[in-house]
Amino acid sequence: MRMRTHARAGLAAAAMLTLSACGGGDAPTIGTGPGTSGNGGSPTSATSTAPSSPASPTASSPTSSSPTSSSPTSEPRTFAAGDCLESSRDPKKVDCSQPHKLEVTAVVPNSEHTGDLVKRAALRNYTCQGEAPKYTGGPAFGTILISDQVGTSADPKSGEQFVCLVAKTTADDSGYESVQGSLKGIVTKEGLAKYAFCTTDKASGDPGKIVPCTQPHVSESFGGFQNTPFGPYPGEDKMKKTALDKCRQMGKDFLGSTRGDIVISQNSSGPNPWAKGTQLTACFVQTDGTKVTKTMKGIGNKPLSSLK
């Protein structure tokens, strides 16, 4: 799947996934059900699309116009965790009980790499991608809750801090959804299933469309993680093995069994998005092609037909 490129694409899910090879030439990998005899580490036959922008925003890029004060006596713009905003480019605060698209997850003091705008932008991406799951209570990647950042031109203290945001994308990944109320702890309160997303075909190949998991689907995201520490790309082979090993264990817990008709796959950032601070892995369970309309969580030894 190509990366989504709406105006302020965010984390993970953002693009809403770097489902096909993250612009780095690294195809997704799959593993057989946890504990089975398959080697699970070989790449699929899927080929990556041309390199594209990273899944997370490069919020350090200046916008077309810097925000200006409405009067000479206006107070300097400030931010705090829990603030709700309508836009990351002109981040006017709104009451969180009113419709809004973005919420501040953290204001992180940081003045590193101010002389290297590219590296600082990458560190900003990486930092904010790590703050989103802390705020929502969900995983770092593989959900419709994604990170964003206040643009540097909109933050008068951008050389001293990172203002990190979270947004909820629409179920079909067409943009940010207006929400009412706070996203703080939302996954802890309401459960991951409500914020996971599914695809109409196998995530390890051509995943087709992103759809709500109540619609017919073959693959289901069940979370993901940020690869640490911030730094250079570790290489495709090492990345695939490390990611698949972690996803396998998570998948075993998610399914509650080892099965031959459901496999576990991973998709991780390639070298291009990694260089821009996107060091993420998403984990999926995918059927043998059978379409289901319910979550595969806890399926155990029940037949796939029970999820239709």
Q: E strands of the chain, at which residues? A: 29-31, 84-85, 93-94, 102-109, 145-149, 161-168, 198-199, 210-211, 219-226, 262-268, 280-287
Give the residue extent of every domain in the chain: 21-60+79-307
Secondary structure (H, E, C), 98-138: CCECEEEEEEEECCCCCCCHHHHHHHHHHHHHHHHHHHHCC
Average pLDDT of the residues in 35-61: 33
Mind listing the pLDDT tens digit for each residue in 73-92?
A: 456 789 999 999 998 888 99
Average pLDDT of the residues in 39-60: 33
Instruction: Give yes or no for a contact between 285 and 255, defined as CB atoms under 8 angstroms apart.
Output: yes
What's the CA gap between 274 and 292, in Å, rounded?
33
Give phi and psi for 275, each to the nearest 5.
-65, -20
Instruction: Give yes or no for a contact between 176 and 167, defined as CB atoms under 8 angstroms apart.
Output: yes
**Higher per-residue confidence, 29 vs 178:** 178
Mind listing the pLDDT tens digit for each residue in 171-207?
A: 777 899 999 999 999 999 999 989 999 999 999 888 8
pLDDT value for 87: 86
pLDDT(129) > 70: yes
Average pLDDT of the residues in 231-241: 95
List C-alpha distances in Å: 259 to 35, 193, 195: 9, 21, 25
What's the CA gap between 37 and 56, in Å, rounded?
36
Q: Whole-model pTM?
A: 0.77
List C-alpha distances in Å: 200 to 37, 115, 116, 166, 235: 27, 45, 42, 26, 30
- Which of the residue ranges 104-113, 123-132, 136-145 would you say has the lowest mean pLDDT? 136-145
pLDDT(37) > 80: no
What's the CA gap between 26 and 150, in Å, rounded?
30
pLDDT value for 31: 55
Instruction: Give yes or no for a contact between 260 and 183, defined as CB atoms under 8 angstroms apart.
Output: no
- Looking at every residue in the chain, the average pLDDT score rounds to 80
**Higher per-residue confidence, 118 vs 205:** 118
pLDDT(132) > 70: yes
Average pLDDT of the residues in 111-115: 96
- Which of the residue ranges 87-91, 144-148, 174-178, 268-272 would you say has the lowest mean pLDDT? 87-91
